[in-house]
Structure 1
C-alpha cells in the first residue's frame, strides 16, 4: 500500500529545541499541501525565507567555488564535490570517510544541533549527493531547497557575493552509521551475474547509457548489464522551476521500472551524484523501501577491465 503524507508548509517557527539534532518544524501558515510520501528533508523557498536568519540554520551552497563567488544566498557556506570526496581511490568521486566530513564541518563552524539547508542551481542533483552522504552517516538534519537558487530568487530572497567569516566548531556525526542507501561494486557484481529480480537503474542520459558519450573520468562508454534507463532529470521541471515534479507525475515516471515499493532498486549514474537525486526521489518522495545508490557508479565500474558491460552499436557517417 502506498501512503501519502500531507504536510503543512511552514512560515514561522523552526525549532522545538535548540540542543537536539533532529529539528522539527512547527506549522504556522498553510501553503499548498504536498502529497509526497515524505517531505521531511525538503524545504520550500517560502519557508526558508522566514527562517534563514535563525542561528541554528546553516545554508549550504553546493556549487563550484566560482559560481559561489559570483552570487549566493546571503550567509551561505560553500561546499563542493571535491570537499566530500575520498581521494585515496584511483578514480574520482567516491564518498568521503566519516572523519573527513567531521573535519570539514568543523572548519565551517557547523554544529551538531544545526539544521542544514542545501541548494544548487541544477535541479537539486548536487544537493542530493550531500543529503545522501549524510544520510548514510545517520545525520538527519538536512533539507534540500526545492528549486534551488532559482526558487530563492523568485521569492525575493537576499543574494550577495560575500564570503562569511566562521568560527570553527567541534562537529561529530552520529556514532553509528547505517549505510542503508549504499551499495558497493562487489555486491553489484553478484547481482549482475545472477538471475534475480533486482532493478539496476541507470539515471544518466540516453547518450551515456548507449555508450555514444563517454564523460571525463570514465574509462569507456557503456552501461552495467541489465540496466534500465530513466534519466534523473525527468523527476524535475528541468526547463522551468527546477522543482521536483508532483507525486502523481513521479509515480508515472518510475512505474516504468515495473517494480514494487519493496523490490531492490540499485541506482547509478556517472559518479553517484544524479543517482543520489533519484534515490532521494524514490525513497523520500515516493516511498520505495529498498533503494541503494551505487557510490562508484560508471566511473568505478568502467575502470575495471574485467567487469561486464553493455554498449550499443553506433554507426558514424562521414
Structure 2
C-alpha cells in the first residue's frame, strides 16, 4: 500500500517539476498521467483535473478552451486562451471543416502568445471531441506537447477549480511548427476513394449517430444523407461517460466496445464522422488509449464525401434535414 501511495505522489511531483523545466518540445518524454497508468496503452496526452490543479499556473503551460467564443466569454478556466474550430480550418474549400495549413496554425499560435516550449492543456465541454480535434491537427504537424483534460470543463468544476470570465493578457510569440509534418493519422479524399474501391483489408469506421449512419438525419453542411459504402458504426460517444463525468471509459470498457470491429491492433482502421471532429476523438481513443497502430482519420469526412455527387454512398432511411 505504501509503495503504491509513494508512486502516485511521485508522479505528481515529476509532472510539476520535469514538464515545466524542460525547454525543448515535450513529446514522449512526458511522465504519464496518474489515470489508468497501468491500463491505457498510453496516457502521455491525457491529464486529470486534480493534476492540472497543482500546476496550472506554471509559466510554460497554456490552457486552451476549445469552445465557441460566446461560451468562453461566460466562464472559462482561469488563464485559459480561446480557440474554436474555425480558427484551425482551411476556408479555401467549398465545404467547411478542413484542417488548416501549417502557416495558418503558426500565425494563430503566435497571435495567442504560444511558444514552442509550452505544454498545451486542451479542454471543451462536449466529452473531449473538440479537444481531440486540436490534438489530432497538431499531431499531424508533429507538435506533441498537448494533453487533453479528461472530463473537460465538467471535471474542473467538480474539483472547484478557479474560473472566471476575464480575458488573458497576451504577448505575441515566434511560434514555429516542426519542419517535417507526419500526417500519420490523416487520410484525404483521393486516398479514401482508392480505399473504398480497393480490396485492401481495412475497416471504415463511422463514428456518428445511428440516425446519421442510416441516412435518417442530414446535418447542416452535408450535401446529402447517408454513409460511405461498407462502413461500420460505433458512435464516438460510447467511449466516454457521456451522461456522467464525460471522462474516457476504462481500458477494459473501451476494449469491449472496439472489439466489435473484429480488428487486430495492426489492422488499418479509417475513421470518419460529419467533419472529422468526432472521428478525431475516436482516433485518440484507438491510438492513444488502446494502442492501435494503423488508424487514419478522414479529414473531410461526410461533409466532403457528400459534396461530390459522383462518389458512392449508402442509405437506409428517409432523410430529415436539420
User: Which TM-score band applies after superposition, normalised by the shorter structure?
Assistant: over 0.9
Tell me the TM-score normalised to structure 1 length. Answer: 0.93
Tell me the TM-score normalised to structure 2 length. Answer: 0.92
TM-fit CA distance, 1:16: 6.3
Partner residue, 1:211: 215
Equivalent position to 2:46, from 2, 20, 42: 42
In 2, Cα distance between equivalents of 1:85 and 1:30: 33
TM-fit CA distance, 1:306: 0.1
Partner residue, 2:307: 303
Task: Describe the SS at the equivalent of 1:266.
Answer: strand
Q: Greater CA deviation, 30-39 or 124-133?
A: 30-39
TM-fit CA distance, 1:25: 4.8
Q: Greater CA deviation, 215-224 or 32-41?
A: 32-41
Contact 1:265 1:292 in 2 (8 A): yes
Q: How many residues of Structure 1 are paired with residues of Structure 2 in the alignment? A: 309
Q: Greater CA deviation, 17-26 or 264-273?
A: 17-26
Task: Describe the SS at the equivalent of 1:260.
Answer: coil
Equivalent position to 1:174, from 155, 161, 178: 178
Q: Greater CA deviation, 153-162 or 277-286?
A: 153-162
Alignment pair present for 1:130 and 2:112: no
The CA RMSD measured in Å over matched residues stands at: 1.8
Counterpart mapping for 1:2-13 below 5 A? 9-10=11-12, 12-13=16-17
| CA separation of 1:314 and 1:285: change in aligned 2, threshold 3 A | same
- Which runs of structure 1 show a deviation greater than 3 angstroms over 4 or more consecutive aligned residues? 23-27, 29-34, 313-316
Counterpart mapping for 1:251-290 below 5 A? 251-290=255-294
Contact 2:37 2:43 in 1 (8 A): no
In 1, Cα distance between equivalents of 2:131 and 2:288: 14
| CA separation of 1:156 and 1:290: change in aligned 2, threshold 3 A | same
Alignment pair present for 1:63 and 2:89: no
Contact 1:14 1:51 in 2 (8 A): no
TM-fit CA distance, 1:118: 0.1
TM-fit CA distance, 1:156: 1.6
TM-fit CA distance, 1:163: 0.7
TM-fit CA distance, 1:314: 3.4
Contact 1:10 1:25 in 2 (8 A): no
In 1, Cα distance between equivalents of 2:18 and 2:81: 20
| CA separation of 1:184 and 1:315: change in aligned 2, threshold 3 A | closer
Contact 1:262 1:290 in 2 (8 A): yes
Structure in which a larger fraction of residues adopt helix: 2
Contact 2:208 2:234 in 1 (8 A): yes
In 2, Cα distance between equivalents of 1:252 and 1:30: 22
TM-fit CA distance, 1:194: 1.7
Runs of 5+ consecutive residues of structure 1 not aligned to the other structure: 1-6
Contact 1:119 1:127 in 2 (8 A): yes
In 2, Cα distance between equivalents of 1:243 and 1:277: 12
In 2, Cα distance between equivalents of 1:197 and 1:64: 39
TM-fit CA distance, 1:41: 0.2
Runs of 5+ consecutive residues of structure 2 not aligned to the other structure: 1-6
